[in-house]
Chains A and B, each alone.
Chain A
Amino acid sequence: MRKFLTSTLAAALMAVAVPALASEGPKLEHQTWAWNGPFGQYDKAQLRRGFQVFREVCSNCHSMKLVAYRNLEYLGFSDDEVKAIAAEKQVQDGPNDQGDMYQRPARPSDRIVPPFPNDQAARASNNGALPPDLSLMNKARAGGPDYVYGILTNFKDNPPEGVTIPDGMYYNETFPGHAIAMPPPIADDLVTYADGTKATKEQIAKDTVAFLNWAAEPELDQRHSLGIKALIFVFVMTVLFYALKRKIWADVH
């Protein structure tokens, strides 16, 4: 039994070590996120602040096509607040009885309205670079939230000696290749938080990343709490099975 355990452990270690070694890239500073660990859950006030930054800043360039306005109720917005947020944007609908397409204010059931009608328009307004959709950003990059936090906070006004950054590009220590087409999007006091939190650059970055994480993994709170219950259940079940096994096998020599 002991040998079995040690060899299983060794195999498990290999399984962990191999992919960990395989992923390389820029060194990321690990931040503590509210949702880290099995008991971690989102901080809804933080998600609301992050949404404020997204709405006022990022959504000028970036889309978030997989999230609907109605999903924002999870952050603690009321029905009416969600309706009001949606109604700020226009969407095309139709055809109506006359057969015409028409514009109407967005409804809670609509997905978050993208800033540009198509990728070409987005590129045309961004020096030829395409601001990627942010719905899955935290899952789509190695390092996840730590990576996105790095992108937001590791801009440098002056690149190191010998590095030249092309026109219209910015130096970012986290971005692979370091030349990114996004201008530094956040700065101290860029937003005035509705809940009075002091808006330092780091605070803004953290809140935004938290919101992006919710956008990418809206099921996380439910997943963590159900996971704890499921594991406790299976653990008790396993202990009982083991006790039963000992009893049944007691007469086998």
Chain B
Amino acid sequence: MSGQQFDNKIVQWIDDRLPVFSILKHSAVDYPTPKNLSYWWNFGSLAGVVLVIMLATGIFLAMAYAANTGLAFGAVEHIMRDVNYGWLLRYLHMNGASFFFICVYIHIFRGLYYGSYKAPRELLWAIGLVIYLVMMGTAFMGYVLPWGQMSFWGATVITNLFSAIPVVGDYIVTLLWGGFSVDNPTLNRFFALHYLLPFVILGLVGLHMVALHTTKSNNPLGIDAKGPQDTIPFHPYYTVKDLVGIGVFLLVYLAVVFFAPNFFGEPDNYVPANPLVTPPHIVPEWYFLPFYAILRAIPDKLGGVVAMFGAIIILFFLPWIDSSKVRSAKFRPIFKQVFWIFLIDCLILGYCGSQPPEGDIVVVGRIATAVYFLFFPTLWVLGKVEKPRPLPHSISAPVLKGGAAGHAAQPMEKA
């Protein structure tokens, strides 16, 4: 990796001793990237941008925050009212969490559609899922910090789930709480972990990048790059394309931060936590809703917890469950339909999770849960029976022919 030549003498001197510039040049400048990536490939770098925003705003919030049940709510309001631009820091951080999940969900479904989880990218996919799990833990604990009604009751409901685990369940719950109910020790350990986990995510993102640069990016056609005619250097092509994405992303994100900062929030969280008053509906943050629906779809508590965690764990095995060798849904007519059904099913689950579990919602939630889990065996069968469309010979081939071959004419790949 080292041994590159640089014009600047100081750069050269440093690089001979510590090859940071060589590494940068190798993985962010020269890095050969398929030339047909669509805008769906922007969401990975966008999630990275949000991670940096979260770290930067979070550290400044932590300087004025107090992890104590008697002080936390007031400390957050102190940030909102008295700290210079504290309201901006807090609203960036609070909505940043939602936009982080929006980016990551799009990123994951992009991977599903284009078969990015298949060989040789199984570990890249798995590291992504670990990042997603740690993000969920971080966001859950962050939501507890302002110590409003939803913070307290959300924490109580979710931590209680662990008591369903046989034998060690109660022990785990006591450990999470640091006592016998959600209280000051809980808030303290959640704050400590909420500060720690984002840095764990940062490390995992590093691994994700190493794996990516080893296997290289997938692309909308799902076929391997065959040579230099199929790739372009990352810089300036994808740096500038990522900048366009960042601009559009910031427009949406900042519009929410400045003009509807509580859009994703629950009004109840502006009421200080009160262990004696239970809110009428306890709902988790929107990004947990599909899993909350799966949890409630199973009438048995342990069964529900197993299904909820299973819904994520099963994704780790996707590369081996999907028996088709063809990656991109473009060439898999039936898989394409199944993909959209799965996506809509996840949205239906999210809706069910947001509703009180009564009447039709229970039935719909159960059917949607069944559909969620049926997706996986379907993928296995599909790989055996589906007849894929003919794959183009190379990434440049269909582009050069202008899609004249008929089947390969897809508007998506022209960004």
Contact = CB atoms under 8 A, between A and B. Distances in A.
B258 A223 contact: yes
Contacts of B102: 15
Contacts of A140: 267-268, 270-271
Given A66-B77, A140-B267, A224-B258, A234 B355 contact: no
Interface string B61-87: 000000000000010010011000001
A214 to B, nearest CB: 12
A249 B355 contact: no
Contact of B247 (A142, A238, A249): A238
Interface residues of B, number: 52
Interface in A192-247: 216, 218-219, 223-224, 226-228, 230-231, 234-235, 237-238, 241-242, 244-245
B411 A2 contact: yes
Interface stretch (A17-25, A55-63, A99-107): A17-25
A150 B350 CA distance: 31
A38 interface: yes
Interface in B79-111: 80-81, 87-88, 91, 102, 106
A66 B80 CA distance: 11
A241 B240 contact: yes
Contact of B255 (A142, A231, A245): A231
B23 interface: no
Contacts of B106: 11
B399 A227 contact: no
B412 interface: yes
Residue in A1, A11, A22, A248 whose Cβ sees the most chain B Cβ within 10 Å: A22
A15 B415 CA distance: 25
A237 B87 contact: no
Interface in A147-184: 176
B251 A18 contact: no
A4 B38 contact: yes
Contacts, number: 112
Contacts of B411: 1-3
B35 interface: yes
B251 A235 contact: yes
A66 B258 CA distance: 22
B347 interface: yes
Nearest to B410: A3
A136 interface: yes
B254 interface: yes
Interface string B399-415: 11000000000011011
B241 A245 contact: yes
**Secondary structure call for the B interface:** helix
B356 to A, nearest CB: 9
B248 interface: yes
A89 interface: no
Contacts of B250: 234, 238
B244 A66 contact: no
Interface of A: 1-4, 11, 14-15, 18-19, 21-22, 38, 66, 71, 135-136, 139-142, 144, 176, 216, 218-219, 223-224, 226-228, 230-231, 234-235, 237-238, 241-242, 244-245, 248-249, 252-253
A62 B251 CA distance: 40
Residue in B35, B77, B81 whose Cβ sees the most chain A Cβ within 10 Å: B81
Contacts of B80: 219
Interface in B333-357: 347, 350-351, 354-355
Nearest to B286: A19
A244 B270 CA distance: 44
Contacts of A216: 270
B237 interface: yes
A189 B210 CA distance: 72
B264 interface: yes
7 contacts: A1-B39, A19-B264, A71-B81, A136-B77, A231-B255, A234-B251, A241-B247
A237 B247 contact: yes
A235 to B, nearest CB: 6
A22 B355 contact: yes
Residue in A141, A230, A245 whose Cβ sees the most chain B Cβ within 10 Å: A245
A245 B244 contact: yes
A216 B270 CA distance: 10
B40 interface: yes
A60 to B, nearest CB: 22
A9 to B, nearest CB: 12
Interface string B237-278: 100110110111011001101110111100110110000000
Given A38-B259, A66-B77, 11 more contacts: A22-B351, A135-B77, A142-B267, A216-B270, A219-B87, A226-B88, A227-B257, A230-B254, A245-B240, A248-B240, A249-B415
Contact of B254 (A14, A18, A231, A253): A231
A41 to B, nearest CB: 13
